Structure 1
Amino acid sequence: MSTPRLPDGWTVRPDPRTWRVDGGATWIGGSPPRVLRLSAAARGLLAAPELVVGTPTTAALARLLSDAGVAHPVGGDGPGPDEVTVVVPVRDRPGELERLLAAVVATAPGLGGIVVVDDGSDDPGRTEEVAGRHGGRVVRHPSSRGPSAGRNTGARASTTPVIAFLDSDVVPEPRWLHTLLAHLGDPAVGAVAPRIVAWADGGPENPVTRYERRRSSLDLGARPAPVTARSRVAYVPSAALVVRREAFGDGFREDMPVAEDVDLVWRIAAAGWRLRYEPAARVAHEHRAAVRAWLARKAFYGTGAAPLARQHPRRVPPVALAPWTAAAVTLLGVQRRWSTAAAGVVTLVATARLARGLRKPGEPWIVLRRGHTPHESDVRRQHGRSADTVGGPVPLALVLAPWGLGGALWQAAGALTRHWWPAAALGALVSRRVRRAVAVAAVAEGLADWVRFRDTGAGPVDAVLHVAAHRADDLAYGAGLWWGAWRHRTVAPLLPDLSGKGPDG
């Protein structure tokens, strides 16, 4: 599909982590990280704190920056709640359904409808009673067919142009729907998802609930983002998802008991639609608190990697590295003096090649030729640095190359303790170097994860508990991943991508 332009009056604001150098001529950011070089006209348009869409040129520039993830659209007028049907698949959870529907009615008045799909409950009368109390209509499956089938049935039973899918174990917070619908004012956006946060029920807290509150698999963080494979926000969960009917297509795959949401959003993206993650809209989720149930769920998530890898090749590798970073990481993993020196040489060569590429003359990477006059003002400071702190290709390359190597080491440590841990455990039985690498990765990556997600004032005991929970999370997920790979007779989700290209490259 051709991409419609952003509506006039929309604004995009740079992501706080976008790094602007050379007086605003070069932007570095997004996920995966990229470097954008701007023409003088583009720099003039972006000298203000935000870019307001008002011409075809500003619309094109705003679209490019938001697609790259270096800036984010603020949103505008979208569909009203009367154009939305909330669809809830449920089975034998009348208490949770009561809690959810009460919150939906309170936070999203004026809905076009509520459809509750009873997926073979033992007591369908209770479901009818709860749904009717909140103005919902019930469609029943005589026997359980799974949540994907329930969502598809609910979508077919509704007629509104927008469908909001909510699971029975979530509780939407105020203005969640209004905030999400604003993004659908962009005709190119096919789906938008809120941030999934932990539901604060006032119950006792344990290491599992504390860990899930900080870094649940469903919580994709506090920063907005486009949703694209192999990026910071590669998917959004179906626990809370708002979809344009036109983009919904064939709906959820009913033969996928897990990762069906990832499959859906990637198919929507493949059809040419944009997808947005908007953390300003929040929906609370009742996380599992019992250790056994929590680990079982993590393993269940892991089993979804194999069918995804078969249906969406090159989108779910455990690591995705450029050839030079793969070589440097491998050499460091050898743990010899000569290999460490060789890794340094590889990094220096890569830095020199990057600097040479940045120095090449020619057109800027973003060119605007609409007669706009650039402003004289410079780009504001970000992260305590001025835009002129790093100037020229060599200093810039000296920043970007180590940044790339650090990201590669982070990926490798994560894969060693998560995706590849069964193989790493076997290797550790026979090799001291493998044992050392696994131990360093487990501790260093775990502590770095704690620093990233820790609560203010948390101490050493909290760090130990977090690292232990993080490692248990990885062990369970990895076990599920290997079991799924065996069951589907594929090694695709275990293979790294060392091409240095994107999933479509």
Structure 2
Amino acid sequence: MKLRFDPGTKTSGQALVGGVPLRVMRLSAAGAELVGKWRAGAEVVSGRKLAARLVAAGMVHPEYAEARSAPRDVTAVIPVRDHAEQLRGLLPRLGELAEVLVIDDGSVVPVAGAAYRSRLARGPAAARETGWRAAKTELVAFLDADTRPEPGWLDALLPHFEDPGVVAVAPRVRSEPGTSVLARYERARSSLDLGDTPAQVRPGARVSYLPTAALVVRTSALHEVGGFDEGLRFGEDVDLVWSLVARGGSARYEPRSEVLHAPRPTWRSWLRQRFDYGTSAAPLARRHGRKALAPLRVSGWTALAWLAAAAGKPAGGAAIALGTAALLPRKLEPLGVPARDSLAIALRGHLGAWRYFADALTRTWGPVAIPLLAATRRGRPILALALARHLTEWARVKPGVGPARWLLARTADDLSYGAGVWRGCLAQATIGPLVPDLSNWPGRKTGT
């Protein structure tokens, strides 16, 4: 096994700084020597406990030479309802698998060749439940009917299961290329596309969930958590992954494997999808705690600094930020972090938090916050700055969509999701997904 260091993992004095949430891990002289060798490409021969801690923290990502498992050890489970023609592009790509189980979830016209058929539509969670419980292999691959796995897509996923603690691994799910504005937007900003950087998956991390549009899971782990919650119409995949992680399992995201997914055909269906995703936040918060769905995660001091600036007291906000930054070196000095690096960490944290505030303002809080900000003289510049990040993103990703259309689509994306969150909160009588998590930062973590 070799280790890929996460782009956000930095060496600072006698410590490693990285992971999400950010943590500091002090290294002994022997540990620092091992880290240096691993950065240079050496295999992990000794120091396996340290390597495991770095992987669990999301500071590094494992690379395995080969896997004992092969595609013939995997069963595919594919739920489908009414759109059987989508299977024609998928099934020929799965010939090497042990078995392919198509689950007909109440189609008006029965799906030819389906392994199981329900007379009534019970939802994707129930269809996947039927499929994985019938599988005879230890690994099951959930795939949507409109996905198109790239050749060799399992080659990068199966090696992760060499670690007995790994219970789920997902590829990168990218929207199929298209010529329409919606297709081009989805290619650059699909809600299923979790980016090009590998990740350890957990609530609150950079990659916090894995979609069952394409997901490989151990059936033994599914038995331990009881499988999918059929009562969830949306967010059942998030619930499953978080349940697996809560029981001590490791879930990983591996973007070297790619699966294509068909985008929504119309703007109306696309907006409905985003709204539906948002409605899952409240029931998920009830199951896994409100912090898992918090729209904003920053320290209380950072929040106070930015609130002071937003209230027209930028000098006061700067004083709070600088004062708390000056205290961090005292906290991190015992961990071997030089004072200069500690100050840089603190200031980057304060300045970078603006993006998290902007996301919360225009997404989860957007249905209420945007009208309120737009209605006041002081609020309009704040709203303009929050929306300006979409144009910065447009310049970075070069999506093939004009800046005005991109801004409109990004705003509609955020607002439809946020409306779903508020609708779900009303239905569940909870404000959990609307409440920020103002925890201390960074957490104190000792090392080896």
Q: Shared fold (TM-score greater than 0.5)?
A: yes
**What amino acid sits opposite 2:174 in the alignment?**
V
Work out the CA distance in 2 between the residues paired with 1:196 and 1:256: 22
C-alpha distance in 1, partners of 2:244/2:122? 23
Alpha-carbon distance, 1:261 to partner: 0.5
Note the residue ranges of structure 1 that are not aligned, 5 or more in a row: 1-9, 132-136, 365-391
- 3-state SS, counterpart of residue 416 of structure 1: helix
Whole-Å separation in 2 of the counterparts to 1:28 and 1:487 = 41
Give the unaligned 5+ runs of structure 2.
Answer: 444-448
- Relative distance call for 1:397 and 1:341 in structure 2 (3 A) is same
Aligned to 2:292, the other structure's residue is in SS state: coil
Partner of 1:6: none
Q: Tell me whether 1:454 sits opposite 2:398 in the alignment.
A: yes
Q: 1:403 to 1:289 in 2, by over 3 A?
A: farther
- The yes-or-no answer on 1:397 pairing with 2:388 is no
Once the two structures are superposed, the pairs formed by residues 22-421 of structure 1 within 5 Å of their partners are 22=13, 25-48=14-37, 49-55=40-46, 58-75=47-64, 76-105=66-95, 109=96, 111-124=97-110, 127-128=111-112, 131=113, 138-200=115-177, 203=178, 205-249=179-223, 250-313=226-289, 314-335=291-312, 339-360=313-334, 393-421=338-366
Inter-partner Cα distance in structure 2 for 1:31 and 1:447: 25
Structure 1: distance between partners of 2:374 and 2:26: 49
Quote the offset at 1:451 in angstroms.
Answer: 3.2
Q: Which residue number corresponds to residue 433 of structure 2? A: 493
The residue identity in structure 2 corresponding to 1:397 is S
For the pair 1:11 / 2:28, whether they are aligned, the reply is no
Distance, in Å, in 2 between the alignment partners of 1:278 and 1:21 is: 27
CA gap 1:262/1:98 in 2 versus in 1, 3 angstroms: same
Is the 1:424–1:434 Cα contact (8 Å) retained in structure 2?
Answer: no
Distance 1:73 1:27 in 2: 17
- Map Cα deviations across residues 22-77 of structure 1 (whole Å, 9 max, x no partner): 3xx3222222222222111011112221352324xx21111111111111101242
CA positional deviation for 1:462: 2.1
Q: Report the AA paired with residue 79 of structure 1.
A: S
Work out the CA distance in 2 between the residues paired with 1:192 and 1:258: 20
Question: Would the aligned equivalents of 1:13 and 1:51 in 2 still touch at CA under 8 Å?
Answer: no
How many residues get paired? 438
Which AA in structure 1 matches 2:79? P
Deviations 1:390-424 (A, max 9, x none): xx622112211121112321111111111111221
Q: Using the alignment, how far apart are the partners of 1:65 and 1:429 within structure 2?
A: 45
CA distance, structure 1, for counterparts of residue 271 and residue 253 of structure 2: 27
- Superposed CA deviations along residues 237-285 of structure 1, whole A, max 9, x for unmatched, are 0100000111113111111111111000000000100011000010000
CA RMSD, 1 decimal = 2.0
Q: CA, structure 1 residues 472+330, in 2 after alignment: closer, same or farther (shift >3 Å)?
A: same
Identity of aligned residues (%): 42
Tell me by how many angstroms 1:139 deviates: 0.9
1:60-117 deviation line (CA, Å, top 9, x unaligned): 1111111111111012424222221101111111210111111222xxx1x2211111
Q: Equivalents in 2 of 1:241, 1:351: separation in Å?
A: 41
Matches of 2:349 and 2:217 in 1, distance apart? 35
Deviation of 1:429 (Å)? 6.0
Contact 1:198/1:285 (<8 A) preserved: yes
Q: 1-side partners of 2:8 and 2:355: how far apart?
A: 19
| Superposition deviation, residue 430 in structure 1 | 5.0
Detail structure 1 runs of 4+ shifted over 4 Å in the superposition: none
Deviations, residues 278-321 of structure 1 (Å, cap 9, x unaligned):
00010000011411111111111111111111111110011011
